[in-house]
Structure 1
Amino acid sequence: MLKNIWASKNIRITTKLRILNSNVKCVLLYGAETWRVTKATLQKIQTFYNTGLRRIFHIRWPERISNEELWKRVGREPMDIQIRQRKCGWIGHTLRKSPSSITRQALTWNPQGKRKRGRPTNSWRRDSESELKTQDMTWHDAAKQLRIVFVGGLLLMAYVPHGAKGLRIEIPDNQGKEFIIGYMEANAFDGQVSKKPVDLFITTSSATPVDVEISTPKYGNNVEKIIVTPDKVEHVQLRKELRLHGNMRCNNGVLIKGNKEIIVFGLNVADASTDGFMALPVDVLGTKYYVPAYRNNAHFVNYFKTAILVVGVEDNTNLSIKLSVGGNVEVEVDGKKFHDGDWINTTINRFETLHIVTSGDLTGTFILTSSPVSVFGGSTVTTIGSGRSRDHVEEHIPPVNVWGKTFFINPIPNTDDNIFRFLSSQDNTELMVNNNKYVLQKSGYFLETRLQGFSVVTSNKPILSVLYVPSPTDRSKSGDPAMALIPPREQFNSFYSFATPVSSRNAEFSTVFVFVIEIKDKNGIVLDGKPVSMSQIKGLVPHDSFSAGYLEIPPGSHTLKHSSVIAKFSGILYGGANKESYCFPVGQRFAQINEVRMYVLH
């Protein structure tokens, strides 16, 4: 009977998964909390469940898909983790009972003597204690109702306080209810300080309107309230004085809050010199950063500068900055000068901004704080590559704990060969770039290279991948210098909502969405609720099991998703106009995949 259901083309995959979980798995794991699970038993259970999943997704034997990849596709955990979840939940539930409860007494009772001949060496209690010990826990800890979940391939632990109704862990992404940002120095193509306002583009994937408040709590306490409606973009201009300039400390932090989740993009505009960034919500921010910038040694002009902006999120945050080595750096903070490799030790408060600039290259600068901060990096204005056109470039930098190890590189179409920098977070980081091996011996070191066509980059330790669109050598090609962070494979998402900005001269950019997706899923992309035909996809290039291409995007607010709920892809938005361009990722997940995290759920 089940075979007919799994094979049916009239039943949606989501419905089949619900049937598998509600009618099959619940019976399969009934009473699993009290099992003493052996390897043989676990293998039989897992094989049965995997078979059901493979039949639902019509995965035949010639398709060599590992079980790990199968679980990743459907967002399910292995059976040993699911059983451990149930066991730990039941242990916590039982241990919180009254000491007089027979159930609790039976759970903690430890009879003395030897077991009879023929009985297993291990008991349920001994197995459970071993599992708790691997998490450095005791029975007392389990009484706090430990839950174990898998997120992004990692084992994460969550304490659910007594009285909490159920467990719900959300993987952070670029959508959020609170953002704290700032605007670093942006100069015109001739080095003049920008006199243009700074811009915000706000949209939402919510089905209902969202109340949004934009304020500068420590800079005049200006407040602007707007309503963001679904599938539309709200363009907000803020006063130009919020933009930082030179080495300075002030209170120019911008707070953006919504009563529901919103998506925020910033645009920092100077005359014929523009770049944008995807804003990171507060729940994504961290305490450890390595910052990318860009200095072009081949075509350097004295007003080209690299810059870093740090915005405080909490009061009395200890802030330590180790300047990059070998970049001819000189900055001034609080009246003191610092150079290559120097440590800057200070504090920063909520909404306070610390801005440093130098004619040297700040790429690889390390930031360590006692509380989360918001960090931006880039260049005030620069050329990139061998062309002569100039532009401001910047990005909102993610913390190290969300960096990745696998990247699919798809250069921006109709531009000169793109430049890429791969920045290390740990010593002795090994990189494989299209089967060529490189080693970054120290944390903060980076590899710079040009790549043509669809490429694959992997590493043994977390890295940050940065794309730099070069100054065009052929004016028939679009745009100007731009900078974008490349989402790692581990952080691909299945839904994106974004907006296209306008240029400094109020002209529309020619915008493309450059994407990477698994080959088997390339037919299911949906733009603004309408399926994308293969004729709309341009420059489609396969590489192993993935393919890359791009779509031309009209001006306005847009949504991109896949018709399959389990298909994930990534994308970068690039817009070119006369003498200026912008580039940023349209979104990604920000699971903290580089460390074990303890979440307290309410």
Structure 2
Amino acid sequence: MTFWITALYLLSANFLLKGYLADSAASNTGARDNKGTEFILTFTENLQRDEHDAKLQAVGTTQTPATVTVEAPAVGFTTTFNVSFGEVKTVDLPRVAVELRGSGVQDKGIHVTASEEITVYGVFTESATSDAFLALPTDVLGTEHFASCSPPSGSFPSQIGVVGTDDGTTVSIVPKQGVTFDGLAYAAGQTITVTLDRLQCLQLQSDGDLTGSHITSDKSVAVFSGNLFVTVGNGRSGSGDHIVEMVPPVDTWGRQFVTVPLKKRTAGDVFRVIAARDNTQVRPC
């Protein structure tokens, strides 16, 4: 039997694109997509080179302008603005307030609300190490996720970030590698259980590849995964980057994926495929 899978596509520029596809027809059929009126997110750790701030980009998707509020409650940060159809508004966020650092529980959740549906992107542009992710609205979030990372290079870890959307959320993580979390050592396969309140976060880091780590919760959570900094492909030499994506929950996964090769790339492309269930059959078309 073939079960739902998600594909992780690693480009030579170290950019991750996960197999979560939301097309324009989704909003017309009631299917979950990437447009929404509420988002909860955070930023996983990037290299601290020039201490550039993280950014959010809000894009208007309706003919009626949307009033958008962005909050980082732990530090009292809030800003409100309007965004029109097709317009992009960028918000600079105080890095110290929103970037997760190390392995542990931290109060660094970000809350975005809008009067009309918008799309939201997180952008983390540090000196020579940058990435961006598509934020998923709260009506898309779920309770089962698998991490997608890259094998670490150098001393920079792979990492997982989780944000609670409700108080008293129990989160369980079964890591694929040994980790240290909140000062305690856990072996690969040993369950880590944490209780998160709304907008409370955890970050889990490992010197090994955390891909395939299983994250479950009793209430919906926002999950992120990737690497603090990594070199991908090409014999793992050359330039590296911070990589991160917001992870779609298992119940949004699909069975067919379309990719486009990079222009002028002759070394081929790298794919990572994660199966949610045993005995999953994966076939190229």
Residue 215 of structure 1 corresponds to 71
1:221 is displaced (CA, Å) by 2.3
Residue ranges of structure 2 left out of the alignment (5+ in a row): 1-24
**Aligned pair partner of 1:421 in 254, 272, 281:** 272
Whole-Å Cα distance in 2 between the matches of residues 419 and 397 of structure 1? Answer: 19
In structure 2, the residue corresponding to 1:407 is in which secondary structure? Answer: coil
- 2:244 partner letter: E
Whole-Å Cα distance in 2 between the matches of residues 225 and 312 of structure 1? Answer: 23
Residue 347 of structure 1 corresponds to 195
1:250 is displaced (CA, Å) by 1.1
1:248 is displaced (CA, Å) by 2.4
1:193 is displaced (CA, Å) by 5.2
Q: State the TM-score, normalized to the length of structure 1.
A: 0.41
Q: Map 1:432-581 onto structure 2 (within 5 A).
A: 432-433=283-284, 456=285
Residue 183 of structure 1 corresponds to 43
Residue ranges of structure 1 left out of the alignment (5+ in a row): 1-74, 76-150, 152-167, 434-455, 457-602
Residue 306 of structure 1 corresponds to 158
1:411 is displaced (CA, Å) by 2.0
Q: Give the 3 Å change call, closer, same or farther, for CA 194–377 of structure 1 in structure 2.
A: farther
Residue 431 of structure 1 corresponds to 282
Residue 146 of structure 2 corresponds to 290
Whole-Å Cα distance in 1 between the matches of residues 257 and 69 of structure 2? Answer: 36
- 2:154 partner letter: V
- Per-residue Cα deviation, 1:189-225 (whole angstroms, up to 9, x for no partner): xxx45611001111111102110000012x1221100
1:333 is displaced (CA, Å) by 2.3
1:365 is displaced (CA, Å) by 0.3
Q: Which structure has more RCO (C-alpha within 8 Å, separation ≥ 6)?
A: 2
Q: Answer yes or no: is the 8 Å Cα contact 1:186–1:194 preserved in 2.
A: no
In structure 2, the residue corresponding to 1:401 is in which secondary structure? Answer: helix
Whole-Å Cα distance in 2 between the matches of residues 363 and 211 of structure 1? Answer: 38
Whole-Å Cα distance in 2 between the matches of residues 250 and 193 of structure 1? Answer: 22
Q: State the TM-score, normalized to the length of structure 2.
A: 0.86
Whole-Å Cα distance in 2 between the matches of residues 413 and 362 of structure 1? Answer: 30
- Per-residue Cα deviation, 1:221-257 (whole angstroms, up to 9, x for no partner): 2110011112211011100112111112111000010
1:409 is displaced (CA, Å) by 2.4
The number of aligned residues is 256
Q: Give the 3 Å change call, closer, same or farther, for CA 182–194 of structure 1 in structure 2.
A: farther
Richer in helix (by share): 1
Q: Map 1:404-419 onto structure 2 (within 5 A).
A: 404-415=254-265, 416-419=267-270
Structure 1 stretches of at least 4 aligned residues deviating more than 3 Å after TM superposition: none
Residue 319 of structure 1 corresponds to 171
- 2:159 partner letter: A
Whole-Å Cα distance in 1 between the matches of residues 196 and 275 of structure 2? Answer: 26
Greater Rg by CA: 1
Q: Give the 3 Å change call, closer, same or farther, for CA 194–179 of structure 1 in structure 2.
A: farther
Which one is further off, 269-278 or 333-342?
A: 333-342
In structure 1, the residue corresponding to 2:192 is in which secondary structure? Answer: strand
- Per-residue Cα deviation, 1:57-91 (whole angstroms, up to 9, x for no partner): xxxxxxxxxxxxxxxxxx9xxxxxxxxxxxxxxxx
Residue 391 of structure 1 corresponds to 241
Whole-Å Cα distance in 2 between the matches of residues 312 and 210 of structure 1? Answer: 25
Whole-Å Cα distance in 1 between the matches of residues 160 and 269 of structure 2? Answer: 23
Q: Answer yes or no: is the 8 Å Cα contact 2:179–2:188 preserved in 1.
A: no
Whole-Å Cα distance in 1 between the matches of residues 50 and 147 of structure 2? Answer: 23
1:279 is displaced (CA, Å) by 0.3
